[in-house]
C-alpha cells in the first residue's frame, strides 16, 4: 500500500509538470458550467464532516464548503460531497474529481510543495492534547513522566507524543492500539494512564466516557494542526475565492455581522461593513463573483462564530471552547485581512 | 408351535425405560460413553454460563427506542442505536422522502432470490420476472423518468449499495469467468496467453489494491475533465477480481470432464461452440458448484472492502453512525446486526447451492 501511495504520488507530480494544467479561472468556469461544487469531505468525523441520521451533511468543514457554494451560486445546497479517506483525499483533488477539499487536512510544507496543493486560511486550529482521568491528580502534561500512553499507530500523533516526551526528558510507555473505538475502550478500561489525540477528538471521546466528569483534558497542546481547505496549485483565482470565503466568515464575526442581523447591517453607516456586504461594490468584481457574495455567505451559512457553535461549540456533544479559534480580539488566531 | 402365545409374551415385556422415550434418546445420544458424557456436561455448563446473561442483555435489560444518553445508563443491549438510525444505516444518503425506492429494490432482489432458490420453480416466467425487475430497479434507483426525482449514484448507499455491488458483481463475473476458463484451455496461443496473463495477474494482487487502483490511480490516467463514477469503478474492480477466481474453478471443472466426452462430442460432428454448450459446460459447471458458490460467498463479503475507498456500503453507514458521539460505544449491537444480515445473505447462497446440487443430481 505504501508503494501504491508512492506510485500515485509520482503520477501526481508528473501530471503537475504538464504545463497545460495550470490556467487561471478554469476551476470557477468549470464549477459554474457544472452547476454545483464537488467537495471532498471526511464522512465520519462528528462536528467536521459527517451525515446525520437523515443523511444530511453536518459539520464545520461541510459548512465551509457550503459557504463557497453560497458565494458562487447564491445557494449553499449546490454542493455534492465526496467522501474521501486519508489515502484518497489528495489524489482526488489532483485528478479533478473534486474542486475543493475540506477534510480536516493539516497544512504542512511538504504537502504544499511536493503534492502541489494550496492550503488556504485555516478554518480550525487544532493541536494534539492529552486526556487523563481526574483521579490521577495530574494538572499538567509535564507531570506525565513514566505514564503509559494510549495512541494510534503510524500517525503523526504517535510521533508527536514521542517527541514531546523526549524533549521534556520524560519517559513514556506507548500502548499502541489500531482502532479508534478499541483505543477508547482500552483507555476507559484503565489499560493506560493517558490518551493522546487531536484536541477536537479528545473532546468527543470525553463526551462518550461512562462518566465524562471523571476525565480532564490537560491544558498543554503539543503540536500545531492548522486544518485548512485545500485547492490545486495553478488556479490562483479559485484559490482566492476559497480563501476569502473562509475569511469572510471570520470577518463577518469580527464586524459583528451574523445571519440574523445581516439585512439590517446592509443599512449600516460603517464603510467597512458596506464594502464587506457589497453595498459599496468592488470586492465581488475583484474575485470574479457577484457583489452579494459575502452577504450570501453570512445570510445562508452564518459567520464563523455561528458555524463554530453550531457544529463543535459548547452546546454540542463535542463541547469545544473557542480557544485558539477565537477572534484575534479575544486572544485567538482567527484574523481576517481588510476586505477592500 | 403356539404362535399366539409367543406374541403375547413379547408384548408383555416392555423395553427398559432407559432405552426408549426422552430418557433413552438422551442416553443414546448424549451419554453413550465416558468421552461423550464429559463433553455433554461441559457443553451444558458453558451454555448455562452464557445463555441466561446473553438473554438478559439482549432482551430483558435492552432498550429499543431510547436516546443514546438513556442507553449509557442501562446494562442491557442498546438496540436503539439501530432503530434510531435504521434509515441511515440501510439507505444512507438516499433522499429521506424517496427511500421507498431503494426499499422496493431491496425487497425485489431478496424476494426474487428467495423464490429462485428452489430449482423446481425455474421457468421462463421467472426469467422474465428477473428481467422486468432489473429494469424496474434501473428506473427506481436513478429516477429522472416517470416523474421520479433524479438521484445520482453518488447518493446510493447502505444495503442497496451492498446488494447492487453483489448482484451485478456476481452475475457479470460468472459468465466472464467461464469465458476466461475456456480461453485458458483454448488451442489458440494468443487467446490462451492473454487469458493466462489476465488470470495470474489479477490473482496475484489483493482486492484492496485493485480497489485502490480503481479509485486512486485510474482517474489520473483519464483525459482531463472525464470522470467515471466511483461506484462503477469499484464495481468493475470487483467483477474483474471475482472473474479471475471463478475462471480457475471452472477450469478445474473442465479438466474433470473425461476426455472421452470431448472425443464423443467431436465424433458427433459438433463444432466448438456446440460441443462446449451442449456437452462439456453442463457437466463441468455442475461439478464445480460447491467451489463456485464458495467464491461467490466470499465475493459477497468482500464488497464490504469498498469502505476503504470511501463508498458508503452497509458497513460504512454503520461505522459513521457509531462515530456520532451520541451513539459511540454501541458498536457491539450495531455490528451484531450487520453480522446477522451478512449471515443471512451467505447462508441463503450456500443453501441455494445445496438445493441446486440435489436438483441436478436427480
Provide the shortest C-alpha distance from residue B19 to chain A (in Å): 53
Grid cell for residue B84: 434510531
A2-125+225-322 fold: D-Maltodextrin-Binding Protein; domain 2 (3.40.190)
Long-range contacts of B206-210 (CB under 8 A, 24+ apart): B207/B237, B207/B238, B207/B241, B207/B302, B207/B305, B208/A1, B208/B305, B208/B308, B209/A1, B209/A4, B210/B237, B210/B240, B210/B241
The Cα B297–Cα B301 span in angstroms is 6
How many CB atoms sit inside 10 A of residue A91's CB? 23
Identify the residue among B73, B214, B220, B312 best suited for mutation to test binding to A, counting A beta carbons within 10 A and taking the highest: B220
Exposure b/e, A165-203, CB count within 10 A at least 16 = b:
beeeeeebebbebeebeebbebbbeeebbbbbbbbbbbb
- Say if residue B271 is exposed, middle or buried (CB neighbours under 10 Å; 0-12, 13-18, 19+): exposed
CB atoms < 10 A from the CB of B183, how many? 20
Q: How far apart are the first and last CA of chain B?
A: 49
Q: Distance from A316 to chain B by nearest Cα, in Å?
A: 10
**Closest CA in chain A for residue B154:** A82
Q: Chain A contacts of B320, Cβ < 8 Å?
A: 43-44, 50-51
Task: State the pLDDT at residue A22.
Answer: 44
User: 10-residue block means of pLDDT along chain B (362 residues)?
Assistant: 54 73 82 88 93 87 80 81 87 85 89 83 85 87 80 83 88 92 91 93 89 80 73 89 93 92 91 90 90 90 83 86 80 89 91 86 72
ipTM for the predicted complex comes to 0.71
- Tell me what pLDDT residue A78 has: 93
8 A C-beta contact, residue B230 and residue B307: no
From the list A15, A30, A43, the residue facing B220 with the nearest CB is A15
CA B132, B135, B137, B140: dihedral to nearest 10 degrees?
-120
Distance between CA A104 and CA B159 in Å, rounded? 28
Q: Nearest CA of chain B to the CA of A42: how many Å?
A: 9
* Residue B24 C-alpha, separation from nearest chain A C-alpha, in angstroms: 49
Q: How many CB pairs under 8 A join A and B?
A: 108
Task: Write phi, then psi, for A24 (nearest 5 degrees).
Answer: -65, 150
**Is B212 within 8 Å of A184 when comparing Cβ atoms?**
no
Question: In tens digits, what is the pLDDT along chain A, a chain of 340 residues?
Answer: 555 566 565 555 555 444 444 445 789 999 999 899 999 998 878 889 988 888 889 999 999 999 999 999 999 999 999 888 777 788 888 888 899 999 988 898 988 998 889 999 999 999 999 999 998 888 888 888 888 999 877 667 888 899 999 999 999 888 888 767 778 888 888 888 999 988 888 887 887 777 888 898 888 888 888 999 999 998 999 999 999 999 999 999 999 999 999 999 999 999 999 999 999 999 999 999 999 999 999 999 999 999 999 999 988 888 888 988 999 999 999 999 999 8
The domain segmentation of chain A, as residue ranges, is: 2-125+225-322, 128-217
- Residues A128-217: name the CATH superfamily: Periplasmic binding protein-like II (3.40.190.10)
CA distances from B102 to A55, B95, B270 (A): 14, 10, 47
Q: Do the Cβ atoms of A239 and A231 come closer than 8 Å?
A: yes
d(CA A282, CA A276): 9
> What pLDDT shows up at residue B312?
85
Q: Does residue A55 belong to the interface with chain B, where contact is any CB pair within 8 Å?
A: yes
User: Cβ separation of B329 and A208 shorter than 8 Å?
Assistant: yes
CA distance B81 to B64: 8
Residue among B306, B329, B133, B125 nearest B214 (CA): B306
Residues of B in contact with A88 (CB under 8 A): 215-216, 309-310
Taking the Cβ of residue A94 and every Cβ of chain B, the question of whether any pair is shorter than 8 Å is answered with yes
pLDDT for the residue numbered B183: 93
Tell me how close the Cα of B146 comes to any Cα of chain A, in angstroms. Answer: 24
Distance CA A105, CA A112 (A): 11
pTM over 0.80: no
User: A53, A85, A94, A189: best mutation site toward chain B, by most B Cβ within 10 Å?
Assistant: A53
Contacting A residues, span 121-160, partner chain B, CB-CB under 8 Å: none
Q: What is the rounded distance in angstroms from the CA atom of residue B297 to the CA atom of residue B343?
A: 10
Interface contact A53-B84, CB threshold 8 A: yes
d(CA A181, CA B74): 20
Location of C-alpha cell 472473474: B243
Residue B328: closest C-alpha in chain A: A208
Residues of B in contact with A83 (CB under 8 A): 310-312
**What's the pLDDT score for residue B225?**
64
CA angle A248, A43, A45 (to 5 degrees): 75
Query: Measured between alpha carbons, how far is A73 from A175 in angstroms, rounded to an integer?
Result: 49
Neighbours of A112 (CB within 10 A): 15
DSSP-derived letter for residue A107 is P
Q: Do A181 and B308 make contact, defined as CB atoms within 8 angstroms? A: no
CB spacing of B320 vs A43 below 8 angstroms: yes
Judging contacts by C-beta atoms under 8 Å, the chain A residues touching residue B93 are: 51, 55
Handedness of CA A331, A332, A333, A336 (dihedral sign): negative
Residue B31: how many CB atoms within 10 A of its CB? Answer: 14
pLDDT at B68: 75
- How many angstroms away from the CA of B231 is the closest CA of chain A? 12
Q: Report the alpha-carbon distance of residue A311 to residue A49 in Å, rounded.
A: 9
Please give the domain boundaries of chain B with CATH numbers for all domains: 3-60 (no CATH), 159-311 (1.10.3720.10)
Rounded CA-CA distance A122/A229 in Å is 7
Asked if A90 is an interface residue toward chain B (Cβ–Cβ < 8 A), one would say no
Amino acid at each position: 500500500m505504501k508503494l501504491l501511495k508512492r506510485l500515485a504520488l509520482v503520477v501526481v507530480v508528473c501530471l503537475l509538470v504538464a504545463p497545460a494544467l495550470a490556467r487561471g479561472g478554469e476551476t470557477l468556469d468549470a464549477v459554474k458550467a457544472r452547476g454545483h461544487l464537488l467537495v471532498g469531505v471526511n464522512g465520519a468525523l462528528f462536528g467536521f464532516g459527517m451525515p446525520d441520521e437523515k443523511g444530511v451533511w453536518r459539520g464545520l468543514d461541510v459548512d465551509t464548503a457550503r459557504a463557497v457554494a453560497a458565494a458562487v451560486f447564491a445557494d449553499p445546497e449546490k454542493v455534492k460531497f465526496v467522501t474521501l479517506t486519508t489515502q484518497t483525499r489528495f489524489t482526488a483533488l489532483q485528478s479533478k474529481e473534486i474542486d475543493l477539499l475540506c477534510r480536516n487536512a493539516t497544512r504542512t510544507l511538504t504537502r504544499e510543495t511536493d503534492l502541489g496543493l494550496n492550503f488556504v486560511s485555516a478554518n480550525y486550529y487544532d493541536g494534539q492534547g492529552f486526556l487523563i482521568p481526574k483521579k490521577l491528580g495530574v494538572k499538567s502534561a509535564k507531570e506525565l513522566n513514566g505514564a503509559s500512553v494510549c495512541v494510534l499507530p503510524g500517525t503523526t500523533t504517535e510521533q508527536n507524543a514521542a517527541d514531546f516526551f523526549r524533549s521534556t526528558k520524560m519517559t513514556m510507555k506507548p500502548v499502541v492500539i489500531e482502532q479508534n473505538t478499541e483505543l477508547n475502550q482500552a483507555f476507559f478500561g484503565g489499560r493506560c494512564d493517558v490518551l493522546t489525540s487531536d484536541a477536537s477528538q479528545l473532546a468527543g471521546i470525553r463526551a462518550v466516557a461512562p462518566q465524562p466528569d471523571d476525565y480532564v483534558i490537560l491544558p498543554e497542546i503539543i503540536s500545531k494542526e492548522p486544518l485548512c481547505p485545500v485547492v490545486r496549485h495553478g488556479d490562483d483565482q479559485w484559490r482566492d475565492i476559497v480563501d476569502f470565503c473562509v475569511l469572510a466568515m471570520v470577518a463577518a464575526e469580527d464586524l459583528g455581522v451574523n445571519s440574523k442581523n445581516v439585512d439590517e447591517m446592509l443599512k449600516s453607516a460603517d464603510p467597512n461593513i458596506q464594502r464587506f456586504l457589497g453595498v459599496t461594490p468592488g470586492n465581488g468584481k475583484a474575485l470574479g463573483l457577484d457583489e452579494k457574495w459575502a452577504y450570501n455567505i453570512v445570510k445562508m451559512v452564518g459567520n464563523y462564530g455561528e458555524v463554530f457553535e453550531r457544529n463543535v461549540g459548547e452546546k454540542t456533544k463535542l463541547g469545544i471552547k473557542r480557544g485558539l479559534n477565537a477572534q484575534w480580539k479575544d486572544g485567538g488566531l482567527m484574523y481576517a485581512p481588510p476586505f477592500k | 408351535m403356539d404362535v399366539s402365545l409367543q406374541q403375547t409374551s413379547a408384548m408383555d415385556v416392555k423395553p427398559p425405560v432407559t432405552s426408549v422415550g426422552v430418557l433413552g434418546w438422551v442416553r443414546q445420544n448424549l451419554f453413550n460413553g465416558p468421552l461423550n458424557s464429559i463433553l455433554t456436561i461441559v457443553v451444558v455448563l458453558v451454555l448455562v454460563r452464557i445463555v441466561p446473561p446473553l438473554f438478559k442483555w439482549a432482551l430483558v435489560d435492552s432498550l429499543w427506542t431510547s436516546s443514546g444518553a438513556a442507553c449509557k445508563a442501562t446494562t442491557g443491549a442498546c438496540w436503539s442505536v439501530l432503530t434510531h438510525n435504521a434509515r441511515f444505516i440501510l439507505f444512507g444518503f438516499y433522499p429521506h422522502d424517496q427511500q421507498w425506492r431503494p426499499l422496493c429494490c431491496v425487497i425485489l432482489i431478496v424476494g426474487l432470490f428467495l423464490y429462485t432458490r428452489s430449482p423446481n420453480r425455474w421457468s421462463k416466467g421467472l426469467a422474465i420476472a428477473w428481467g422486468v425487475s432489473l429494469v424496474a430497479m434501473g428506473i427506481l434507483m436513478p429516477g429522472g423518468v416517470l416523474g421520479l426525482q433524479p438521484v445520482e449514484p453518488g447518493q446510493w448507499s447502505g444495503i442497496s449499495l451492498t446488494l447492487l455491488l453483489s448482484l451485478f458483481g456476481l452475475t457479470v463475473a460468472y459468465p466472464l469467468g467461464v469465458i476466461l476458463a475456456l480461453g485458458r484451455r483454448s488451442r489458440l496461443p494468443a487467446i490462451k496467453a492473454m487469458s493466462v496473463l489476465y488470470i495470474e495477474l489479477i490473482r496475484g494482487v489483493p482486492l484492496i489494491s485493485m480497489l485502490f487502483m480503481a479509485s486512486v490511480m485510474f482517474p489520473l490516467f483519464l483525459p482531463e475533465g472525464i470522470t467515471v463514477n466511483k461506484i462503477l469503478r469499484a464495481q468493475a474492480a470487483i467483477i474483474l477480481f471475482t472473474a479471475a477466481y471463478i475462471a480457475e474453478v471452472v477450469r478445474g471443472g473442465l479438466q474433470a470432464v473425461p476426455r472421452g466426452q470431448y472425443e464423443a462430442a467431436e465424433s458427433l460432428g459438433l463444432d466448438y461452440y456446440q460441443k462446449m454448450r451442449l456437452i462439456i459446460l453442463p457437466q463441468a459447471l455442475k461439478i464445480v458448484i460447491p467451489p463456485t458458490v464458495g467464491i461467490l460467498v466470499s465475493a459477497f463479503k468482500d464488497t464490504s472492502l469498498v469502505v476503504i475507498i470511501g463508498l458508503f456500503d452497509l458497513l460504512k453507514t454503520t461505522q459513521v453512525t457509531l462515530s456520532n458521539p451520541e451513539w459511540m460505544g454501541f458498536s457491539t449491537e450495531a455490528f451484531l446486526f450487520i453480522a446477522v444480515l451478512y449471515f443471512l445473505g451467505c447462508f441463503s447462497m450456500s443453501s441455494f447451492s445445496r438445493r441446486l446440487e440435489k436438483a441436478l443430481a436427480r
